[in-house]
Amino acid sequence: MKTEIYQKDSLEQAAKQLQQEEVVAFPTETVYGLGAIASSQTAVERVYKAKGRPSDNPLIVHVSSVEQVIDSVTDFPEMAQKLADSFWPGPLTIILHPKENLFAKAVSAGLPTASFRMPNHPLTLELIERVGEPIVGPSANKSTRPSPTSAQHVLDDLDGLISGVVDGGVTSVGVESTVLDLTSPYGPVILRPGVITKEEIEAVIGKIVDKDDLTVSEAEKPKAPGMKYRHYSPVKPVVAIAGEQALWQKEMDQLVAKGEKIALMANTELVAAFKDVASATYTLGEPGDITAMNRLLFDGLRVLDKSDSDIILVEASPKVGQGLAYMNRLEKAAVEYIQ
């Protein structure tokens, strides 16, 4: 199949393709999503097939209005309204109980719940409006590849396998949304960290828990099924490194002694310090710029994976605030974390 590239002036064609149960990728502020109308089992199955996604991993339903969520769920708690008022459109996904038989079965992948998000991208909000109903949107990468932050990344993975991609430029946030479960018996639980932090959510709805901090057994912890799969893996091994330049120096020396070609992804200072030792570099911004680190992580992994090197060394971040989102992705991509 030929994969069309749509722009603002051809959104109507993209919407038509979606209405005809085809798969069209779309931009958001986080990463590109793989769109299909949520009410069609045929369309949703095409998404799983194109991605190569395991069938037990549910999809996020993307909406262009809060009413679309209210119309889709059995109960829209006050908390959900407050969250929507504060963070939508934006990188927060909330899990609620859907009405029966509204969405294709494959959307929830066997769970009694469904997840919802209003993405903050003008083209996609207009696209959903034109379609006239919610669309699913897992990240538009092949399963296990880094999430796509540009239309080109989508084409690198899915050209010829999907009907089109709406090109909305490079995404601004770079890591996927925070996923918050509002149906858990433990109260609201963060299942996946994102750039909307626990502290920001608590400022709106009061105390919540992060699933990693729940003091119940692993088996009892609420889960996002997708978090158990291998993720974001470039072909080359990735090693995360924290801390001081001295620690980097030691690792570099060992790898050089073994004759390994090193690709380096780190802040301006580390890149400047080691650029003569590395065979490829990718700069993640000024030291400590976590916004830049999140925005550039997936692009950097894709770029360095294509470089002539044996191993990719990536700067780690402290696990606080938005650093939790970054480290969640980096640890999934990495075979080792040196600290």
Binding status of residue 139 toward Mg ion by CB under 5 A: yes
> Does position 44 bind ligand TXA by CB under 6 A?
no
Q: How far is CA 29 from CA 103, 169, 224, 255, in A?
A: 24, 10, 21, 37
Residue number, nearest CB to ligand TXA: 226
Report d(CA 215, CA 169) in Å as an integer.
42
Give the helix/strand (H/E) hosting 165: strand 164-166
Phi, psi (deg, nearest 5) at residue 41? -60, -40
Q: Which is nearer to Mg ion, 15 or 38 (CB)?
A: 38
Quote the crossing angle between the two packed helices 151-158 and 290-305, to the nearest 10°: 30
* Cα gap 292→284, rounded to integer Å: 6
Question: Which tokens is 28 given?
Answer: 């958001």
Q: Which of 224, 238, 262, 312 binds ligand TXA (CB under 6 A)?
A: 224
Strands 189-192 and 209-210: parallel
Asked if 80 interacts with ligand TXA (CB under 6 A), we say no
Amino acid identity of residue 156, one-letter, is D
* Amino acid occupying residue 210: D
Segment near ligand TXA (CB under 6 A); pick from 23-31, 41-49, 69-77, 160-168: 23-31
Return the number of the residue (137 or 222) whose C-beta is nearest Mg ion: 137
Name the segment binding Mg ion (CB under 5 A); options: 101-109, 119-127, 135-143, 198-206. Answer: 135-143
> Is residue 33 close enough to count as binding ligand TXA by CB under 6 A?
yes
59 binds ligand TXA (CB under 6 A): yes
**Three-class secondary structure of residue 157 per DSSP:** helix
3-state secondary structure of 81: helix
Alpha-carbon dihedral sign for residues 66, 86, 288, 240? negative
Q: How far is the CB of 214 from ligand TXA (least distance, A)?
A: 15
Give whole-number Cα distances, 134 to 107, 126, 225, 264, in Å: 11, 12, 22, 41
Q: Residue positions in the annotated binding site for ATP?
A: 53, 57, 113, 139, 147, 192, 232
Instruction: Examine residue 174 and tell whether it contacts ligand TXA (CB under 6 A).
Output: no
Which two structure tokens, joined as six digits, stand for 39?
């009410």
Q: Does 69 bind ligand TXA (CB under 6 A)?
A: no
209: contact with ligand TXA by CB under 6 A = no
Q: Is 150 near ligand TXA (CB under 6 A)? A: no
Is residue 30 part of the contact set for Mg ion (CB under 5 A)? no
197 near Mg ion (CB under 5 A): no
Decide which of ligand TXA, Mg ion, none touches 237; Cβ closer than 5 to 8 Å per partner kind.
none
Instruction: Please select the residue that binds ligand TXA; options are 226, 234, 300, 323, rule is CB under 6 A.
Output: 226
Positions that interact with Mg ion (CB under 5 A):
139
Positions that interact with ligand TXA (CB under 6 A):
28, 30-31, 33, 57-60, 91, 93, 95, 108, 111, 113-115, 117, 119, 137-139, 176-177, 179, 191-192, 224-227
